[in-house]
Amino acid sequence: MENAQLVVVGTGYRAIGDLTVEARACIEQADKVLCLIGDPLVTHHIGQLNSSVETLDGHYAAGKPRYASYEEMVEHILSEVRRDQFVCVALYGHPGVFAYAGHEAIRRARLEGIAARMVPACSAEDWLFADLGLDPGQQGCQSFEATDFLMRHRVFDPTSLMILWQVGVIGMPDAHRRFDAVPGVTCLTEVLVPHYGSDHPVTVYEASPYVTAEPRRTVTPLAKLPDTSLSTASTLVVPPLPQRPVDRELLARLTRRR
């Protein structure tokens, strides 16, 4: 397969505006484009760049485990690559963040001796830092998927910024559209309150995919989080507690002139 090649690109979080020059070129030059976007506007735009575009949305179904859908997507991608053609897979946001299918397709393609790579893009986290005016370099930043955070009892530092993704779908096993977020968020609140206190202000954030719409920034006391409206796009931002004191002895060692 001399011509087989796989490139996984991200379309960014903001519709069309986040698409990089390199990602656009890959889409235009591909023999086959597969996409998983979730936004008809962006899908239409990709179709204008390359008429071969086909969506992977059909692999989702209510009641179907998400990983079963992801496995089908991977095999769909590889089936196109094995036809000895240049395949570009366009995924919304950053193609390597919450994107099993992209990573796994690249891994399996390489095992088969096929050239495969990923092109990064602007993610929801990038917009979060910009929209909320946060600098992860000030007190560090911890980032967890909310269900995994709870199920695996992740160890965290309350004096560092913490971001919890997918708080509106904690425990959701499939693509079911009707889902009650309250039980999962209640469990999350019970875990966080002993560390931060009931009144600690947290922010429910949702990046806006459109330049004409404002992002969501809902600030609430931590104890009131279960009463806050959440969606599949909701991210919880937990600001840090006051910094720990500096280790003066270690500081002296680090700054001592040699």
d(CA 51, CA 11): 17
Q: Which residues, at least 6 apart from 252, have a Cβ–Cβ distance to it below 8 Å?
A: none
**82 is an active site residue:** no
d(CA 202, CA 217): 10
d(CA 11, CA 214): 20
Q: Which of 13, 92, 196, 205 is catalytic?
A: 92
Q: Which of 66, 82, 154, 216 is catalytic?
A: 66
Q: Which two tokens stand for residue 9?
A: 């690109």
Q: Which of 13, 14, 24, 70 is catalytic?
A: 70
Look up residue 233 and give its amino acid. Answer: A
d(CA 137, CA 207): 21
d(CA 258, CA 256): 6
- 44 within 8 A of 71, measured Cβ to Cβ: no
Q: How far is CA 92 from CA 76, 120, 200, 208, 249, in A?
A: 18, 11, 33, 13, 47
Q: Which two tokens stand for residue 229?
A: 């409206």
**196 is an active site residue:** no
Q: Which two tokens stand for residue 93?
A: 């946001």
Neighbours of 1 (CB within 10 A): 13
**70 is an active site residue:** yes
Active site residues: 66, 70, 92
